[in-house]
């Protein structure tokens, strides 16, 4: 059976510059939020302000990343010390443009 919450095989938490980048690498934010037990919008807030994560939420992120709480707290601290804009949810995906003529 396919594990929908399995972290990508090459995910190395220590190679990320922020907790937001690591969470982005986990996959669909809606799935990540559901696993953590928060809404998609709350996850977006947490990614912008990593100090707002609860301990329980960080533990669940660590589970998804197949990592540990200490690594998650270090990434959160690194992001708080060096604020970054969280990656866009659909980074690299083409956007649908309204009023675009049909290609047919």
d(CA 27, CA 75): 18
**103 found inside a domain:** no
CATH of residue 54: 1.10.260
How many domains would you assign to the chain? 1
Residue pair 64/26 in contact (Cβ under 8 Å)? The answer is yes
Q: How confident is the model at residue 85 (pLDDT cuts 50, 70, 90)?
A: confident
Task: Note the pLDDT tens digit of each residue in 10-53.
Answer: 467 778 999 999 999 999 999 999 999 999 999 999 999 999 99
**4 found inside a domain:** no
**60 found inside a domain:** yes
**64 found inside a domain:** yes
Percent of the chain with pLDDT over 70: 75
Q: Which domain holds residue 42?
A: 14-81
**33 found inside a domain:** yes
Return the closest-CA partner of residue 53 out of 72, 29, 32, 70: 72
CA distances from 77 to 18, 40, 82 (A): 8, 22, 8
d(CA 27, CA 1): 18
Residue pair 35/97 in contact (Cβ under 8 Å)? The answer is no
């Amino acid at each position: 059976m396919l594990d929908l919450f399995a972290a990508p095989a090459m995910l190395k938490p220590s190679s990320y510059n922020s907790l937001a980048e690591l969470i982005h690498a986990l996959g669909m934010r809606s799935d990540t939020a559901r696993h953590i037990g928060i809404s998609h919008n709350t996850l977006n807030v947490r990614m912008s302000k990593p100090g707002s994560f609860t301990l329980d939420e960080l533990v669940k992120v660590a589970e998804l990343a197949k990592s540990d709480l200490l690594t998650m707290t270090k990434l959160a601290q690194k992001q708080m010390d060096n604020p970054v804009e969280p990656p866009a949810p659909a980074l690299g995906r083409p956007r649908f443009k309204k009023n675009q003529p049909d290609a047919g």
